A and B are shown apart, each in its own frame.
Chain A
Amino acid sequence: MNNFTDNLINKIESKNIKPRPKFTFLLKDITLFLISTISLIIGSLAFAVIFYMIDNNNWDLYSKTNGNFLKFLLLSLPYLWLLLLSIFIWLSIYYIRHIKGTYKYRASYFLFIVILANIIFGFIFYNFGLGRTIEMTFYQHIPHYRTINEFPFHIWKQSNKNILTGTIIGFVENKKFILIDSKQQNWIVDYQTARSPLLNTGLPVKMLGEKTSENSYRAEIIKPLFPTRKSMIIKMRAR
């Protein structure tokens, strides 16, 4: 044995250096797998919300106006959820690449697999109503979510038509109700001539109509802000 070997062995023994226990490596592998799986699931849920938001965009209200489509589209995109989706796609790929043996495959391969998995599982979650549930929960319980995510009707104005969204907080005489929007402004909404579903207090709605004064609005079309799959199927049949 040469000096180097002897010195090294002496150092190992004198400093009581020992091999790390096997379970620590197993734990690391399990942790990596779990984190990448959780990232994939969250990414898929983000996709489900995106599906829902795109499917329930204000297309139906937009079609009643003659606004600029590109502008409408750019204002409608769910940027917050797209950002979240991008983050979780990146996280999924990052942790998958740290799992043993995955280095043999190019990163682009995992990008394709992760995006495909997000789309497939996102669509499944969407069909189970998770997209709607998450969107509604965030809308109702996270204060600034509405401001960030709501369609900016104050930017998008086409001729004299406005889209207004908010929650019904009470009814007054002559087919009018009070609506509170995301900026906590109250509106008196006249729905005498509007096409609408059954309305009740607490229902979040989106409307197409005209602003008649500082806090008055005449609705032409009223729709629930968070339609269910049933109401969407009815919508599809009506088409």
Chain B
Amino acid sequence: MNTDKRKTDEELAISAPSNVADFKILIDRYQKPLARYIFRISGRNRHDTEDILQEVFIKIYKNLYSYNPKLKFSSWIYRIAHNCVISGWRKIKARPQIAFNIDNDIIKNITDTFDLEKNTDRIIDKQQVKQALDKLNYKYKEVLELRYMEQKTYEEISDILKKPPGTIAALINRAKKKLKKHIKYE
């Protein structure tokens, strides 16, 4: 069958139900980003993450005909990944966890964007930011993760979490305030 790696995600998603080779291209494109996302938001180990990732792709494959091309394909599959992780937590009746595997670029990104040093009159280090982030409620963590680690726009986060864009903006705003407060009083 013809495969064309130059096809967009949306084009591949439309042809994938009848062409497994196109689905393989999608897997290759999204395997690493989704694995990283699932690892961060599930708080599970690498082995479990791979199991969840496989479950996610199978779910994506089964639901390909439900994909609406008006929605960005990446938003759609991140939504499926997010829902799979939450379902997994519900099955074992545990609270959702976000591990927050932070690197220096992300620390700098959050610190600069939130003006943390300016607003707290302190020099901030990675550990302080991580500790402050760990104190946040899950609903704030998931939006911060998508915004500052997955680099998603507000519109994309709205599509992934199925919440109004205004709600996403409000959550990020509140997360910033809480983060500043936690750092200030550490």
Interface residues of A (CB under 8 A from B): 1-2, 4-5, 7-9, 11-13, 17-22, 25, 100, 103-106
Contacts and interface: CB of A to CB of B under 8 A. Distances in A.
A1 B25 CA distance: 9
Contacts of A20: 62-63, 65-66
15 contacts: A4-B27, A4-B31, A5-B28, A9-B20, A12-B20, A12-B61, A17-B62, A19-B62, A19-B65, A20-B62, A21-B65, A22-B65, A103-B164, A104-B164, A106-B166
Interface stretch (B50-58, B84-92, B101-109): B50-58
B31 A104 contact: no
Nearest to B54: A8
B162 interface: yes
A9 to B, nearest CB: 6
Contacts of A100: 68
A104 B65 contact: no
B58 A19 contact: no
B172 interface: no
A123 B54 CA distance: 54
Contact of B163 (A4, A19, A103): A103
Given A1-B24, A5-B28, A20-B62, A11 B17 contact: no
B153 interface: no
Contacts of B77: none
B38 to A, nearest CB: 13
> How many of chain B's residues touch chain A, expressed as a range?
20 to 34
B42 interface: no
Contacts of B27: 4-5, 8-9
A156 to B, nearest CB: 47
Given A8-B57, A19-B63, A106 B24 contact: no
A103 B159 CA distance: 8
B165 interface: yes
Contacts of B57: 8
A2 B28 contact: yes
A-B interface, 6 closest residue pairs, ranked by CB to CB distance from nearest: A103-B162, A22-B65, A25-B66, A19-B17, A19-B64, A5-B27
Interface in B153-179: 158, 162-167
A47 B166 CA distance: 32
Contacts of B31: 2, 4-5
A8 B164 CA distance: 34
Contacts of B65: 19-22, 25
Contacts of B162: 103
A4 B30 CA distance: 12
Residue picked from B16, B64, B66, B68, most chain A C-beta under 10 Å: B66
Nearest to A15: B58
A2 B167 CA distance: 39
A96 B164 CA distance: 15
Given A11-B58, A17-B58, A5 B24 contact: yes
